[in-house]
Structure 1
Amino acid sequence: MPAGLHFPYAAQAFRIRRTVRHLDGRIKHTETVYGITSLHPHQAGPTQLGIYARGHWNIENRLHWVRDVTFDEDRSQVRTGNSPRAMATLRNLAISTCRLAGATNIARTLRANARDHTRPLTMLGLT
């Protein structure tokens, strides 16, 4: 293991440079991020690593952003024991159930479910 590298299963490190643009095309800023993976170069080359990195943002945008904004998770006062993990699991279940039911706007679907107490049960196939 190289001196100073404290990631025992690291097989490769990579750098991604990305340019963030305004909608009109003007450059907002450029950033460089680094990653470490246990995949060896023959398992994942630059193209595959790029696909994995973009896939991460798909998860970030479709799940974590919804949890942060729609559920206002950052202001949750559930902080002790296993409660935060349990609440995150329940939020993930709600989001996934809405998506499996074809919802594209989770906030709107949650509001509709709040108005009709039978809808969540129907979405889960319980009625």
Structure 2
Amino acid sequence: LPAAHAQPTDLQQWARLEWHIENRLHWIRDVTFHEDAHRARTGNGPAVAAVLRNTAIGFHRGNGETNIARATRRANRRPHDLITTVTSSYPTTQ
């Protein structure tokens, strides 16, 4: 919106939406997946790593997980279950 047409409620909604995105995705990528500490800086490495992180987050959210860190730890302890889930025709999780 042009500044002359922006109402306080519009600005408040925009700010809340921005923080919702920050808290729901970027914070998880930074804290759970340590994205800021990733050392790949050239070529396709950073883009590929970001796609893999987003895929993991989407996979866990699609399976109803609300705590991505806990879901990631559980998947790390049971990699065969995760591989079976991803490669099966009818994915289910426990």
TM range (shorter): 0.7 to 0.9
Q: For this pair of structures, how many residues does the alignment match?
A: 87
Is structure 2 residue 76 aligned with structure 1 residue 114? Answer: yes
Q: Distance in 2 between matches of 1:120 and 1:104?
A: 21
Who is 2:92 aligned against?
A: none
Following TM superposition, by how much is the alpha carbon of 1:112 offset from its aligned partner in structure 2, in angstroms?
1.0
- Specify which of 51, 60, 64 is matched with residue 102 of structure 1: 64
- Specify which of 19, 38, 51 is matched with residue 13 of structure 2: 51
Please provide the CA RMSD for this pair. 2.0
Is structure 2 residue 11 aligned with structure 1 residue 11? Answer: no
Residue identity over aligned pairs, in percent, reads 49
Greater strand share, structure number: 1
CA contact (8 A) 1:113 1:120 kept: no
Greater helix share, structure number: 2
Q: Distance in 2 between matches of 1:103 and 1:52?
A: 26
Who is 1:7 aligned against?
A: none
Cα offsets for 1:11-33 (capped at 9, x unmatched): 33xxxxxxxxxxxxxxxxxxxxx
Structure 2: give runs of 5+ residues left out of the alignment.
89-94
Moved over 4 A (4+): none
TM-score, scaled to structure 1? 0.60
Higher RCO structure, 1 or 2 (CA under 8 Å, sep 6+): 2
Match of 1:89, SS?
A: helix
Following TM superposition, by how much is the alpha carbon of 1:121 offset from its aligned partner in structure 2, in angstroms?
4.7
Shifted more, 113-122 versus 50-59: the winner is 113-122
Who is 2:51 aligned against?
A: 89
Following TM superposition, by how much is the alpha carbon of 1:55 offset from its aligned partner in structure 2, in angstroms?
0.9
